[in-house]
């Protein structure tokens, strides 16, 4: 009970007044690491205006950080704000949205520029008639600076192919609906591979495992976690219904419910803490205005993880709302 109250207090405290979305103003204590980027955000509040000019609250004072060599998972039920948070952190917030709060890169005001960050969206937009190698070589020639010699661009492409474990299918046609090509998981890795060409320090992934079976999802996420560890890349991924094995690959968890943050911390800690919150007799979670569904859902994640609630080996997401 004490632990659950502490968590709720932590995230329901009165925030400091928000300022327009700043990329900067050092919070202090952060240091630059090799390729990775330390991204911190504080009191991020996002609203969207409707056609009548009314403002809808999408994200309510979210605070957290993503570290080099680690994978931070953004989780929460559909509509909880995962994509909006990814868009905000990566500087892709739509023009119809307004954000306030602080976003710092290595503790300083700095925009995420070319080569610093990459964003892989949910959709695969790949040229289906090309082989994996052709597509990635082509992308390298288009993306990498004109001053870079061709041989270096192709070597970079080949390294990215290896990093994403695509060597075995490099000569296979990507394919699509009409002509069958590589698998869904491999297609996803090709999309990620293309974004890795510029060796970004920060990788944002929106639902990298959507549409994949659990084995393919694990394969994709395991490569991403390996990449983060070995290259120092900082990864933030919005994920929906991860399997237990995929969940265990994450270093940190930012759990959202109805635009609010209900947990931020390490994944082992999340498992332990939420398990305690899920214990029968722990009251109070349901009473929080607007948070009942999300919080109830979050407790079921851990219940599932601890084998108390089997959901076909998956944590309940939409179905659990
Ligand atoms: N431009 C917009 N205008 C108004 N509301 C929006 C806009 N974009 C998002 N929303 C709303 O904000 C909320 C959060 O959306 P978001 O896409 O961030 O959720 P999500 O957690 O990524 O959902 P999913 O898992 O289904 O992709 C939703 O209720 C959505 O309808």
In the DSSP assignment, the letter for residue 168 is G
CA 258 to ligand 1 center in whole angstroms: 10
Is residue 233 packed enough to be buried (19+ CB in 10 Å), middle (13-18) or exposed (0-12)?
buried
Domain 2-116+200-320: CATH class, spelled out: alpha beta
pLDDT of residue 113: 57
CA 146 to ligand 1 center in whole angstroms: 38
Distance of alpha carbon 59 from alpha carbon 61, whole angstroms: 6
Residue nearest to ligand 1 atom 31, measured at CA: 79
Cβ neighbours for 292, distance < 8 A, ≥ 6 positions apart: 285, 286
What Rg do the C-alpha atoms of the chain give, in angstroms? 20
Distance of alpha carbon 44 from alpha carbon 206, whole angstroms: 19
Q: Is 36 in the pocket of ligand 1 (CB under 6 A)?
A: no
Residue nearest to ligand 1 atom 28, measured at CA: 79
Q: Is 81 in the pocket of ligand 1 (CB under 6 A)?
A: yes
pLDDT of residue 138: 92
67 and 38 Cβ atoms separated by less than 8 Å: yes
Domain with CATH 3.40.50.300 in the chain: 2-116+200-320
Q: Is 282 in the pocket of ligand 1 (CB under 6 A)?
A: no
How confident is the prediction along the chain (321 residues), in pLDDT tens digits per residue? 333 333 333 332 323 333 444 443 333 333 334 567 899 999 999 999 877 778 889 999 999 999 999 999 999 888 889 999 999 998 888 888 888 898 998 887 666 555 578 888 877 677 888 899 999 999 999 888 889 999 999 999 998 898 888 889 999 998 877 778 888 888 888 988 888 888 888 999 998 888 778 888 888 899 899 989 988 999 999 998 788 888 889 999 998 888 998 888 888 887 676 666 655 544 433 333 333 334 444 545 544 444 443 333 333 333 232
Q: Is 88 in the pocket of ligand 1 (CB under 6 A)?
A: no
Task: Determine the atom of ligand 1 nearest the C-alpha atom of 240.
Answer: 25
What is the interface pTM, i.e. ipTM, of the complex?
0.97
Q: Is 78 in the pocket of ligand 1 (CB under 6 A)?
A: yes
């Amino acid at each position: 009970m004490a632990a659950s109250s502490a968590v709720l207090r932590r995230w329901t405290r009165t925030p400091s007044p928000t300022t327009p979305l700043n990329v900067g103003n050092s919070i202090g204590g952060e240091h630059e690491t090799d390729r990775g980027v330390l991204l911190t955000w504080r009191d991020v509040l996002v609203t969207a205006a409707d056609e009548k000019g009314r403002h809808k609250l999408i994200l309510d004072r979210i605070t957290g950080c993503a570290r080099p060599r680690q994978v931070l998972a953004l989780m929460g039920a559909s509509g909880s704000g995962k994509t909006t948070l990814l868009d905000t952190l990566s500087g892709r917030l739509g023009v119809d949205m307004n954000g306030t709060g602080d976003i710092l890169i290595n503790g300083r005001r700095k925009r995420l520029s070319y080569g610093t960050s990459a964003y892989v969206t949910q959709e695969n937009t790949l040229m289906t008639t090309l082989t994996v190698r052709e597509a990635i070589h082509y992308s390298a020639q288009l993306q990498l600076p004109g001053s870079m010699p061709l041989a270096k661009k192709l070597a970079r492409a080949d390294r990215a192919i290896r990093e994403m474990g695509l060597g075995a299918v490099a000569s296979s046609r990507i394919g699509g609906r009409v002509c069958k090509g590589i698998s869904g998981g491999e297609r996803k890795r090709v999309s990620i591979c293309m974004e890795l060409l510029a060796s970004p320090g920060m990788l944002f992934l929106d639902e990298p495992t959507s549409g994949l079976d659990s084995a393919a999802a694990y394969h994709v996420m395991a490569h991403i976690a390996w990449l983060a560890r070995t290259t120092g890349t900082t990864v933030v991924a919005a994920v929906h219904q991860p399997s237990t094995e995929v969940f265990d690959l994450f270093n940190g968890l930012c759990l959202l419910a109805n635009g609010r943050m209900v947990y931020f911390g390490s994944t082992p800690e999340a498992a332990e803490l939420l398990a305690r919150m899920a214990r029968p007799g722990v009251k109070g979670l349901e009473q929080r205005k607007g948070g009942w569904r999300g919080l109830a859902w979050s407790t079921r994640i851990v219940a599932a993880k601890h084998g108390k609630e089997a959901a076909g080996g998956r944590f309940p997401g939409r179905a659990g709302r």
